[in-house]
A and B are shown apart, each in its own frame.
Chain A
């Protein structure tokens, strides 16, 4: 009840209060509305910002995670390559060590082998000695040959001279110039003269024009001996024996007719022989056939009877000589057609006189 009293007291003011309240509310409405909008917008902004922040954080987180993953991958790769390089370096170094050792060994043993080189050089000097000796021998041999040739030439000249000067030989009465009585023994020239045969006055054979060397052709002093129609000297130049008989006489003798003696003219065989021969000839002439006359035996029992000429021919007139003039026997022919009258030429003979180059003409 008290409340109600209170309320009745306030009742008069209620309307005003109510109106005032509504008016103040109305008046504040814009402001309140704007404030509410502000508050709301701010709140929304907060919310959105919070959302964006959240999104950001998430994106960062994803990227972070992704980047870490990539880098770790890359890092692993780097490590692998670094490891690989390290390994390769190590291997290279080891290989270098091995090669170093090997090359040193090889070079020392084979390429720059001091002892082998020494042996080689010794072998070379030995070989040189041998070669020098052999060449020396060869040179000496040549020298000897040359000397021998010279000596022989000199000997030949001496002998030829001795033959030419044979007349200087000493005789019984007169001592030659090489056999002085004041010497103990004759000069060797004297002995040579004694041994040599005198040289006869035979003409030297004319030198053939082809013997001199064409090497000296432009400076040769003699004109070339071209054949100028000189006849060759006769063969066998001994003096012919004489005196000769008259030619007519010789011919008469040569062509004299035969004059046989009686003994030569008559035949050797006696008349009896001659008569025998005569008989034989008659027999031979008269003989009809050559078959021997055989005694009666069965030898010729199976002899075939030979027809006579008349019987062996066919009856009728002979065509040979009337109808045809050439006898033919076709069963005896070996080929169906006539022999070739013109024979194929022989290849080899065709070439005769043509293949050999006549001063180089090519066929």
Chain B
């Protein structure tokens, strides 16, 4: 199969060479070029790499270049399409396309030719611009942006789509390129494109707006000033899943930069419509919807309050429960942000039954960054007051957090987040049954918090003292070795002072040996 394709290619190229040099009939040329395009598809990537070594496709590109100026329009279009396909697969080929000075030609003819050529030329620009910022910069430098923006005004929706896609790929790389795209006046035309009836065009325009506004607040403000938010908000109701994905992503890129932008997005009345996206069958719609809600919630307590009042927390919790993997991550982070703002919001999260999904997340997920996010969110929920800490501790998640902190295989980020969450919760936790299991395997820096909590609760609660003794906690505390004068020692002393001396001595290590020694030294009185 492999040799067959190579053989075919070689034959093909001989054929091409002959044809081009002897000016054969137009229909033959067309036929050959049309053959060339499917070949470029059927050749897989490995074959392509091999062929790169065998026959330089760069020579193919230089062969294709004069065809772009051919009289017959079909040949021009097919040549452009072939160039685009070649550039799409590999960035070396894309660089070769740039080096051969094909781009200025394409740009000049973009404004003059018919719509098929425009589509093919836009495809070439997109293919070149997708690989790296330098190639995109090269495209900008040869003045392609103005031509593409002119294409955006064309009547044919396919041309608009190609132009918008190319602009999106260029703007994706960094904020200078985005700024260049905005300076060429693309944003109002893109907003017009969004209003067009064709779904594919809407998708691409939304994704381009998303790529433009993701880099900086000024760019996002430019997009907002063109009036994009209202149209994007309307399109959330559209049944097409991919369109919803792009629209939600665009809105979240706008909202993430500042409080004002987030408030503008909220004022477009996306709640409670956005919550229906959390129940969509497509996973990426759920993820992007959760991302949007997260970006809004993280800015200020008022926005979080608004989201909670609209029932957003319940929707996000259900979404977390129903998904698996990275799709859950934005939802988890959203819960963390909401709970971090104030204790009332944190209580609202607890009341909406937010903690069980987070615990299952912590246990089930394989990726460390998701576990770290879940640990962080639990820490934010539990750190406010003893009530919150109790609610978190009751689910027995503290042991999991501790094991994650102690596990050598977990990443540094996970360990750090687990430790912080544990500390935050422990400093407020007065729920002793949850603290006791931790006494046995905690490292010293966690131990002091645990013992500290015990020392705060035990002096006042007699039942707890009894439970502490019977469960073996007092024994464990005696076994802890602490430096005299440290905080841990003080806590231990406080605990020991709660109990009568004999009990403390009974539980101290080595008591049985001491008793036996006394037995040995005892002189019986006859």
Contact = CB atoms under 8 A, between A and B. Distances in A.
A219 B352 CA distance: 46
B200 A146 contact: no
A160 to B, nearest CB: 26
The interface residues of chain B, by DSSP majority, are classed as helix
A215 B314 CA distance: 35
A111 to B, nearest CB: 10
A164 to B, nearest CB: 30
B423 interface: no
A241 interface: no
Interface stretch (A35-43, A65-73, A129-137, A266-274): A129-137
A74 interface: no
Contacts of B476: none
B120 to A, nearest CB: 9
Given A214-B158, A224-B81, A359 B348 contact: no
A130 B74 CA distance: 60
A121 interface: yes
Contacts of A120: 344, 348
Given A135-B276, A138-B279, A228-B30, A130 B158 contact: no
A139 interface: yes
B85 interface: yes
B74 A228 contact: yes
B275 interface: yes
A66 B154 CA distance: 103
Contact of B158 (A142, A210, A223, A228): A210
Between A222, A228, A359, the greatest number of chain B beta carbons within 10 A of the residue's beta carbon is seen for A359
Contacts of A121: 347-348, 351
A231 interface: no
A131 B41 contact: no
Contacts of A83: none
A117 B34 CA distance: 72
Given A117-B344, A128-B352, A131-B272, A146 B281 contact: yes
A228 B200 CA distance: 27
Contacts of B379: none
B314 A132 contact: yes
B111 A359 contact: yes
Contacts of A131: 272, 275, 310-311, 314-315
A224 B117 CA distance: 12
A313 interface: no
A224 B153 CA distance: 24
Given A217-B123, A359-B150, A127 B309 contact: yes
A299 interface: no
A356 to B, nearest CB: 11
B84 interface: yes
Contacts of A213: 200
Contact of A124 (B116, B123, B308): B308
Contacts of A221: 38, 41
Contact of B78 (A124, A146, A226): A226
Interface string A254-278: 0000000000000000000000000
A133 to B, nearest CB: 10
B491 interface: no
A157 B278 CA distance: 33
Given A135-B276, A218-B127, A223 B37 contact: yes
Interface residues of B, number: 48
Interface string A18-57: 0000000000000000000000000000000000000000
Contacts, number: 94
A121 B352 CA distance: 9
Interface in A183-229: 210, 213-215, 217-219, 221-224, 226-228
Contacts of B275: 131, 135
B328 interface: no
A143 B280 CA distance: 10
A75 B44 CA distance: 105
Contacts of B169: none
A130 B352 contact: no
Contacts of A135: 275-276, 278-279, 315, 318
Contacts of B38: 221-223
Contact of B311 (A130, A138, A210): A130
B65 interface: no
B334 to A, nearest CB: 15
A213 B199 CA distance: 10
A209 B37 CA distance: 16
A210 B313 CA distance: 45
B162 interface: yes
Interface centre among A124, A125, A146 (most CB of B within 10 A): A124
A131 B352 CA distance: 11
Contacts of A136: 279
B131 interface: no
A259 to B, nearest CB: 57
Contact of B279 (A127, A129, A139): A139
Interface in A343-363: 357, 359-360
Given A131-B315, A218-B88, A359-B112, A226 B351 contact: no
B77 interface: yes
A219 B41 contact: yes
A124 B352 contact: yes
Contact of B161 (A214, A226, A360): A214
Contacts of B287: none
A333 B499 CA distance: 131
A84 to B, nearest CB: 44
Given A138-B279, A218-B88, A226 B74 contact: yes
Contacts of B153: 357, 360
Contacts of A360: 111, 150-151, 153-154
B465 interface: no
B384 interface: no
B119 interface: yes
A227 B84 CA distance: 20
B280 to A, nearest CB: 8
Contacts of A217: 123
A218 B272 contact: no
Given A130-B311, A135-B279, A359-B111, A125 B352 contact: yes
Contacts of B347: 117, 121
Contacts of A224: 77, 81, 116
B270 to A, nearest CB: 15
Contacts of A128: 311, 313-314, 352
B318 A215 contact: no
Interface string B148-163: 0011011000100110
B121 to A, nearest CB: 13
A154 B347 CA distance: 50
Contacts of B311: 127-128, 130-132
Contacts of A359: 111-112, 150, 154
Given A132-B315, A135-B318, A214-B161, 5 more contacts: A131-B311, A139-B279, A222-B38, A223-B78, A360-B111
Interface of A: 117, 120-121, 124-125, 127-132, 135-136, 138-139, 142-143, 146, 210, 213-215, 217-219, 221-224, 226-228, 357, 359-360
User: Top 10 A-B pairs ranked by shortest CB distance?
Assistant: A131-B311, A128-B314, A360-B150, A139-B279, A223-B34, A135-B279, A121-B351, A127-B311, A128-B352, A226-B74
25 contacts: A117-B347, A124-B348, A127-B309, A131-B272, A131-B311, A132-B315, A132-B318, A135-B318, A138-B276, A138-B279, A139-B281, A213-B200, A214-B162, A218-B84, A218-B88, A218-B123, A219-B41, A221-B38, A222-B38, A224-B77, A226-B116, A227-B74, A228-B74, A360-B111, A360-B153
